[in-house]
Amino acid sequence: MNFNKVDYELSAGTYEQLPKCTMPEIVFSGRSNVGKSSLLNKILNRKNLARVSSQPGKTVTINFYKADTARLVDLPGYGYAKHGFDERNRWGKMIEQYFQSDRDIRLVVQLVDMRHKPTQDDLMMLDFLHQTETPFIVALTKSDKLNKTEYAQNLEMHNNLLKDYRPTAVVPFSSVKGEGTEEIKALIEEATLSK
Ligand SMILES: Nc1nc2c(ncn2[C@@H]2O[C@H](COP(=O)(O)OP(=O)(O)OP(=O)(O)O)[C@@H](O)[C@H]2O)c(=O)[nH]1
Ligand SMILES: [Mg+2]
């Protein structure tokens, strides 16, 4: 897969707007503000393809980016406190419809903030991925914000908490330092070639 040749394709805000699945899909999921846009921009070697926001929770659509051999699918961030019940409901419905719309999902990159324990929403998502046997990796974001001791402690904590969900890999990642970029790209590449 050519990571340097990826273009924005479309944003879907309703089920009807989802594109037909015509290619393998790599899905990016995580809570609002976890660093999803930053990770996408980093692996695609772009400054601002996926918009990095200082205002969390702005993304309420599923965004599709097209590469030569796969689509990259950016799910809306969940768990943003200011979203009212209706908005959260809408989120849940969209995600559910996406996963149930007969896709060729090769890999989910689930983002979790390395500094903190997974949230209830993170655990719900991990549980869903595990239950549905969807292949996924966990990117532990903002790794640069931890000192050496915290880094080791939190890596162990996450590995322990995550192991029951059976991720293919757990990768510390920093969009600032670049840590984890090549490993995540290799795992995506491998997933697009699987089957
Ligand atoms: N230090 C550090 N900051 C990061 C990292 N990744 C993201 N950030 C910062 O965290 C904030 C949120 O990053 P985004 O990439 O916009 O997060 P997002 O998950 O796309 O957020 P929403 O789309 O709003 O849900 C921004 O201020 C980023 O600069 C990282 O690896 N290290
Ligand atoms: Mg974003």
Are 63 and 8 in contact by the 8 Å Cβ rule? The answer is yes
User: 166 or 63: which carries more pLDDT confidence?
Assistant: 166
- Cα–Cα distance, 81 to 28 (Å, whole number): 20
Average pLDDT over residues 63-70: 95
Provide the strand spans (E) within 39-117.
62-66, 71-74, 105-113
The conformation of residue 93, written as its DSSP 8-state character, comes to H
Q: Is the CB of 141 under 6 A from ligand 1?
A: yes
Average pLDDT over residues 113-121: 96
* Tokens coding 131: 């239950």
Which residues lie across from 187 on neighbouring strands?
A: none
Ligand 1 atom closest to Cα of 177?
A: 31
Q: What's the predicted TM-score (pTM) here? A: 0.94
Domains, in order of start, for the chain: 7-193 (3.40.50.300)
Ligand 1 atom 2 nearest Cα: 142
pLDDT tens track for 24-44: 999 999 998 999 989 999 999
User: How crowded is residue 130: how many other Cβ atoms within 10 Å of its Cβ?
Assistant: 15
pLDDT of residue 58: 54
Ligand 1 atom 13 nearest Cα: 35
Confidence of residue 56 (pLDDT cuts 50, 70, 90): low
